[in-house]
Amino acid sequence: MIEVKNIHKSFGDAHILKGITTTFEKGKTSLVIGQSGSGKTVFLKCLLGLFSPEEGEIEYDGLAYAKLTDAQKRNLRADIGMVFQGSALFDSMTILENVMFPLRMFTKQTKTEMEDRADFVLKRVNLEDAHHKMPSEASGGMQKRVAIARAIVNKPKYLFCDEPNSGLDPKTAIVIDNLIQEITDEYNITTVINSHDMNSVMEIGEKIVFLKDGLKAWEGSKENIFKTDNEVVTDFVYSSNLFKKVRQMYLEERA
C-alpha cells in the first residue's frame, strides 16, 4: 500500500502539487488522470522518490520515504518496477539482456539464475521466442511487453506505469491493459498508472484519481465515474461524443 498525505511540490514560484492526499492499495490497478499540466507527471515522480515534496509524506507500507536511510531507499527501489512511456529499452542489449538488467542492478544472482528468471517473465508476457531479438526488431506492442517483463522481473511490490499505451493501436492497448491488471492481481502488486487513455479508465480503473491544477479534483472507480455529476470530471472523461453516448446509455440502463 502507498499512502500519500497532503503533499505539496513547487518549482520556484510555480506551485505544482497542492495538498494531495490519497491511498493506493495492494492488488489494485489505480489510474492517475488529468489534462496536460495537471501535475500528474510531477506526482508520479514524487511517488518514485525522484522529487521530494516540500510538505506532506509518502508512505510505502507504513514507512515514510523521507525518513528512510540511503540503504533503506536502495532496498525500496529494488521493490519498485517501472514501465516508462516509450518503453525505454536499451538499444544495444537483446530483449533477454534488457529484462535481466534490474537483476544485475539489485541482486547477486548467478547468470544462470538471472536468465531463468528473465525467461520466466518473458513467457509470462507471451514473448517466449523473443529472447535474442534486439528492441529495434520488436513491434511497439512487443516492446511494451518487454518493458512490463523487465518491470516485474525482480518481483516488485510496487509497479508504476507512465502512459503504457502511448503510441499503441486500440487493440494492442487493450492487451497491455489486461496484462497489467492480470499481473497486478496475480502478484498482489500496488500498481499506479499515469494515463490519458479513457479506454484504460473504463477497462481497468479499479481506482481513479483525477488531478486538476495540482489538486485532487475527484477519486472513485470505473463504476462510479459513470454516475458522478462532478462537471470537471465529466468534461474531461466525456469530452468526445462517443463517450457521452456511452455514459448516457449506462445511466439509462440503470434508471
Query: What cell numbers appear for 62 in the block?
Result: 507504513
- Grid coordinates 492497448 are at which residue? 173
User: What CA–CA distance (Å, rounded) separates 147 from 141?
Assistant: 10
**Poorest-confidence range of 19-23, 177-181, 222-226, 234-238?**
234-238
Model confidence at 19, in pLDDT bands (50, 70, 90)?
very high
Q: How does pLDDT run across 108-123, given as a tens digit for each residue?
A: 999 999 999 999 999 9
Nearest to 2 by CA among 182, 217, 179, 160: 160
Length of the chain as a residue count: 255
Radius of gyration, alpha carbons of the chain: 19
Find the mean pLDDT for residues 82-105: 93
Distances (CA, A) of 165 to 50, 104, 129, 199, 208: 23, 27, 23, 10, 17
pTM of the model: 0.89
Q: How does pLDDT run across 126-137, given as a tens digit for each residue?
A: 998 889 999 999
How does the average pLDDT of the chain come out, rounded?
90
* 38 φ/ψ angles, rounded to the nearest 5 degrees: -80, -20
Q: Is the pLDDT of residue 240 over 90?
A: no
Q: Is the pLDDT of residue 230 over 90?
A: no
Letter string b/e over residues 179-195, b meaning 16 or more CB atoms within 10 A of that residue's CB? bbbebbeebebbbbbbb
Find the mean pLDDT for residues 166-180: 89
Q: How does pLDDT run across 174-183, given as a tens digit for each residue?
A: 989 999 999 9
The answer for 114, left when phi > 0, alpha when psi is -120 to 50, beta otherwise, is alpha
| H or E stretch covering 5 | strand 2-11
Find the mean pLDDT for residues 188-216: 91
Q: Which fold has domain 2-225?
A: Rossmann fold (3.40.50)
Contacts of 131 (CB under 8 A, 6+ apart): 94, 95, 96, 118, 119, 122
pLDDT > 90: percent of the chain: 71
Model confidence at 78, in pLDDT bands (50, 70, 90)?
very high
Q: What is the DSSP letter of 254?
A: T
Q: Is the pLDDT of residue 167 over 90?
A: no
Q: Is the pLDDT of residue 143 over 70?
A: yes
| Residue-level pLDDT at 63 | 93
Query: What cell numbers appear for 196 in the block?
Result: 490519458
Secondary structure of residue 22 in the 3-state scheme? strand
User: What CA–CA distance (Å, rounded) separates 17 from 46?
Assistant: 10
The answer for 49, left when phi > 0, alpha when psi is -120 to 50, beta otherwise, is left
C-alpha triplet 214, 217, 223: angle, nearest 5°: 135
